[in-house]
Each structure stands twice: as structure tokens, then as C-alpha cells.
Amino acid sequence: MEKIILGIDPGTHRLGVGVIKKSGSSVKLISAETIQAPSKASLYDRLSDLYEKLDLLLEKFHPHEVAIEDIFVSENPRSAFQIGIARGMVFALCIKHGIKLFEYAPSQVKQTVTGHGRADKEQVRKMAGILVGSPLEMGLDASDAVAIAVCHASQTRLKSLLSC
């Protein structure tokens, strides 16, 4: 059975989006991009812009499932809070479109894609490209989104194997 999975690396200035097609145990890259919001706009205006652009992508690709990176608290709690708001926007869009949403910790994505939970972004980009059969020569937000989609494809395959 084929399944379209859309991965999202959330942000309030840039939102990474990766779309893959899962067929059995193989995955193939369909699209990857970084949605940019106007950098000097207010948070509200940036999120409004990201919302409209992501809404169009959901309509274009009709994913069966969406996977998003879970929030992590770094040294800046304000940034983490704003990313949480961006994640809420993605949740709202998935609800609007009736698409099931799955969350993955950054370390789980790295572990699944590279075999190491502390891999750097370049290692993630390289391995995700190998796994989807296409070098990922786009920005890190987009390649992270592809890695999140690949992680979800891998996790759902593992769950289906374990349920047999």
C-alpha cells in the first residue's frame, strides 16, 4: 500500500516541509522545500503567511499522514514558546484537513535516520538523502522535514511488523 507522508520542521520564520511516498519498505522523495515568512513581520503576520502556504501544500499533496518534530527547550524559552505556537498552527491545519498528526523527538528522528541520536544536521541531511534515493541539496529546514517524514515511515513500518 502506498502512503504519502508530509514531514514538518516547525518554525516561526521558516517551516521545513518534506513529502515522501512510502511503498512497502521503500520511501521516495516527492518534494522538499522551506516556506519562508516575511522576516520583519509580527509573529501573527508570519504565522498567517506560513498557514496559507502550508494549507496550499496540504491541498496539493493530499498526505495520508503528517509527522512533526516535537518541541525541545533550548537556552531560549521564548523561542521554544513561539515554536510551540507554530506547532499549534500545524495541528489546526491537520484538523481542518482531517489528517492524522504524529510527533517525534529530535533525538528519535536522528536515531532513526542516522543510527545516532546526537547526529549533526549535515549527517541527518546526508542519510535522509540516501534513504529517499535522492541527494538533499536544499536548506537544512527542508532536509530535516524529509528526515522527520522518513522517521515516521520507519516507525509505522516497525509498528505494523510488531502487530503481526
Q: Which residues are catalytic?
A: 9, 69, 141
Contact 143, 132 (CB under 8 A): no
Q: Which three cell numbers stand for residue 30?
A: 516527492
Question: Cα–Cα–Cα angle for 45, 53, 76, nearest 5°?
Answer: 50
For 53-80, b/e burial (b = at least 16 CB within 10 A) is ebeebbeebebebbbbbebeeeeeeeee
Residues 68 and 84: beta-carbon distance below 8 Å = no
